Structure 1
């Protein structure tokens, strides 16, 4: 079995840049491939009480507007809603789209050169029929779909495969969108937009080209942070303590608007070094997505991983809420792989990613007192189930972290004070 792990951060760039979360909530969770009914349950039983944003209730739709199905998808009524289509004839009568609404005439077929922006934006991505978004009719049909969702209460959209659409075409669609429904949002609120633009450098298309339309998922952040956590040796981030440290760093640092991944497991089948099952979708019974069940220990069953329920991650979401608006401060490092930093006088975090123990006294910037480390435990009824950290009148505290610890990092904040 394999964990599907993703670390992503939504980069900064303003109305459609506002995630419309409740005040004081600073991170959202991507419940990857969850059923709507399970999302609704999780919002009420876990996400809202634990301080996640996008709750009570905020939904951001994963909008696939670059393309329809595969060119060889055949014909029938096996679409999501059971409507008839014929991919071979480019006939989608329920929209309706016809052959005139696709980019078939612009390319020989598949994208073969990612250094050619015209190919990337006009040709087929993995054989998927590419919509001609420069046509006002197509733009209007896409906007009609998105407006229906806005009118029933969604807060915004993740634009899938935004890299494969011209920024101007995206803007033209967004300009047609309604304001958010005033039943749930303040007058004049705009839908939150964040775009999937994979830009790791070395290609023709840059994520910065899309900043004018909304926020953009910053893939470089996760890639570079992963490299640092792996200590530059190319090792895969297979160890969970590395992953938890990386997510902890992301949630503690003030950069961007954060999104936590919640994923699923699948059966791996490696052949010649490649997992030939890497295409497999969510846990299912004969194609029907499984329910997200909750175990007595609050973890998830049915092969759902639910990283957002891990103590280390959900407590760092709370940390980010507590330190929101505070400056980055009191940086320390040992010249190797031990680092620490604070967030004003509201929080402090220390990491030991070296192959030896950390034992040092650091300036935290926090008021004097005893604090509960929210990585190793929880503050419960005024007591701490994990490590206690004593901060002196001068703001200094001594930290000891073994390199063999299950979670070699410590985080304390104003609301974890005992």
Structure 2
């Protein structure tokens, strides 16, 4: 097996001559995406509303992110862990991340910065707390009683031990029993559907543009369709349906409602970067049995896979993580989401918070990782925007860890994940002649580049050295001349 050392951080690069012969590869189908010309989503996991608003102005808008995904905004149980946001006790828009007024202001501010807002919507269940309690905003509740919202008849009681899912090979059990003790809503009920739609419509009235439907696998696709039909206006929908080999519930069932998260993508990409060959990525996506590109939402990692499902790259992988995100943003399969994390030492650890449990304002690199700001990742958002709609051409690989490809007439990426530099090479880009900012190592702004400049000659070629575990990316939106 081709083995590599631990990856170094991305470093600067030089230039030297040589030849890499291009090959033509069939382009993947057009990427799925929320509406709009800017497709990339930033998942600001557990950020408070004041910080999200500020980030839309300072970073997301200027860097070209089209959407921001925010964590569940409804009232939740009072605890410190990250998962309290996924334990609703009412649909009041008040949580440890902020008030309804702050949420509304955040949406307006993001819109003014050209960024649309996706809410992580918890619609499959309520809390998992067995003892009665009081929620963040003061609402009283018990496990199966949420005064003014739901009563005992609005939940499933499946008759299995502990009312829990134990067999993922049983469709009925997965969609009628409880996921880790979370009170499972009877989403086939007209009342429950209407109540959920009222919550989503309230968010739409505040300007929200779309929803990530949490735990969609635990609801029949028809139930989600019925809730969607009650929305007051159109909204982008992406559904969390985790693929399980041999399981009866499959992600394909949900594509009629909207996009679906392709969980295999991050695992497959991590395996390739860690222990296989980048050359295998030549047909990555549908060629690997993934969902059709037009309905697939992809990510290197998300808040769950970082903690629970294993086998993915995360911020802890540093340079290799940046390279994997660069590939995701350059490769035209699915609709990409960039994760933005806080640092955690155990799987349950919540975000930075004060003594009352209120989420602190985000200060990047002080308890928050802010991967969406890493220069390689942030600059590749511009690459994605500039190459939108262009197919793949001029594929090259050395059979192992060095790959290169064009986004026809719009951009070019080469990645070297070997343990040694690739020297004495030239690359055919198919781009117009000119000087381009290498956005892996520099930021393009107002006709200038803070890093290396790549010169493409009149025939569409450039010469460069690519250091070990590094890359070069150029695109027409970062052309100097």
TM (norm. structure 2) is 0.73
Partner of 2:239 in structure 1? 195
Partner of 1:417 in structure 2? 479
Quick check: 1:219 aligned with 2:263?
A: yes
Structure 2 unaligned residues grouped into runs of 5+: 1-27, 68-109, 278-309
* Bigger relative contact order (CA 8 A; separation at least 6): 2
Supply the distance in 1 between the matched residues of 2:30 and 2:168 (Cα, whole angstroms): 25
Partner of 1:184 in structure 2? none
Supply the distance in 1 between the matched residues of 2:311 and 2:138 (Cα, whole angstroms): 45
Q: 2:442 aligns with which of 377, 397, 400?
A: 377
Partner of 1:260 in structure 2? 338
Partner of 1:365 in structure 2? 430
- List per-residue Cα deviations over 1:9-60 (Å, max 9, x = no partner): xx9999xx86234xx3120101001111111111112211111102524211
Q: 2:156 aligns with which of 94, 100, 103?
A: 103
Return the structure number with greater strand share: 1
Q: CA deviation at 1:191?
A: 0.6
Secondary structure of residue in 1 paired with 2:55 = helix
Evaluate the alpha carbon distance shift between residue 236 and residue 209 of structure 1 in structure 2; reply closer, same or farther with a 3 A threshold.
closer
Greater alpha carbon shift after TM alignment, 328-337 vs 389-398: 389-398
Secondary structure of residue in 2 paired with 1:104 = coil
Return the structure number with greater helix share: 2
Evaluate the alpha carbon distance shift between residue 331 and residue 18 of structure 1 in structure 2; reply closer, same or farther with a 3 A threshold.
closer
Task: Decide whether the 8 Å contact of 1:83 with 1:94 is kept in 2.
Answer: no
Q: CA deviation at 1:81?
A: 2.5
Secondary structure of residue in 2 paired with 1:52 = coil
Supply the distance in 1 between the matched residues of 2:341 and 2:46 (Cα, whole angstroms): 8
Quick check: 1:76 aligned with 2:91?
A: no
Quick check: 1:53 aligned with 2:66?
A: yes
Task: Decide whether the 8 Å contact of 1:283 with 1:302 is kept in 2.
Answer: no
Task: Decide whether the 8 Å contact of 1:377 with 1:386 is kept in 2.
Answer: yes
Quick check: 1:137 aligned with 2:215?
A: no
TM (norm. structure 1) is 0.84
Partner of 1:20 in structure 2? 35
Secondary structure of residue in 2 paired with 1:67 = coil
Task: Decide whether the 8 Å contact of 2:30 with 2:333 is kept in 1.
Answer: no
Superposed CA RMSD in Å reads 2.2
Task: Decide whether the 8 Å contact of 1:230 with 1:236 is kept in 2.
Answer: no
Quick check: 1:243 aligned with 2:321?
A: yes
- List per-residue Cα deviations over 1:120-142 (Å, max 9, x = no partner): 11111011110111111111111
Secondary structure of residue in 1 paired with 2:454 = strand
Q: 1:318 aligns with which of 382, 405, 410?
A: 382
- List per-residue Cα deviations over 1:159-209 (Å, max 9, x = no partner): 011111111111111111111xxxxxxxxxx11000111115332221101
Supply the distance in 1 between the matched residues of 2:29 and 2:251 (Cα, whole angstroms): 11
Task: Decide whether the 8 Å contact of 2:30 with 2:389 is kept in 1.
Answer: no
Evaluate the alpha carbon distance shift between residue 383 and residue 49 of structure 1 in structure 2; reply closer, same or farther with a 3 A threshold.
closer
Task: Decide whether the 8 Å contact of 1:84 with 1:94 is kept in 2.
Answer: no
Partner of 1:32 in structure 2? 45
Evaluate the alpha carbon distance shift between residue 316 and residue 13 of structure 1 in structure 2; reply closer, same or farther with a 3 A threshold.
closer
Supply the distance in 2 between the matched residues of 1:49 and 1:149 (Cα, whole angstroms): 25
Evaluate the alpha carbon distance shift between residue 220 and residue 235 of structure 1 in structure 2; reply closer, same or farther with a 3 A threshold.
closer
Supply the distance in 1 between the matched residues of 2:374 and 2:133 (Cα, whole angstroms): 43
Evaluate the alpha carbon distance shift between residue 106 and residue 20 of structure 1 in structure 2; reply closer, same or farther with a 3 A threshold.
farther
Structure 1 unaligned residues grouped into runs of 5+: 1-10, 180-189, 269-276, 294-299
Greater alpha carbon shift after TM alignment, 379-388 vs 305-314: 379-388
Quick check: 1:63 aligned with 2:121?
A: yes
Partner of 2:228 in structure 1? 174
Partner of 1:399 in structure 2? 464
Evaluate the alpha carbon distance shift between residue 343 and residue 288 of structure 1 in structure 2; reply closer, same or farther with a 3 A threshold.
same
Task: Decide whether the 8 Å contact of 1:365 with 1:395 is kept in 2.
Answer: yes
Supply the distance in 2 between the matched residues of 1:125 and 1:12 (Cα, whole angstroms): 35
Supply the distance in 2 between the matched residues of 1:193 and 1:381 (Cα, whole angstroms): 35
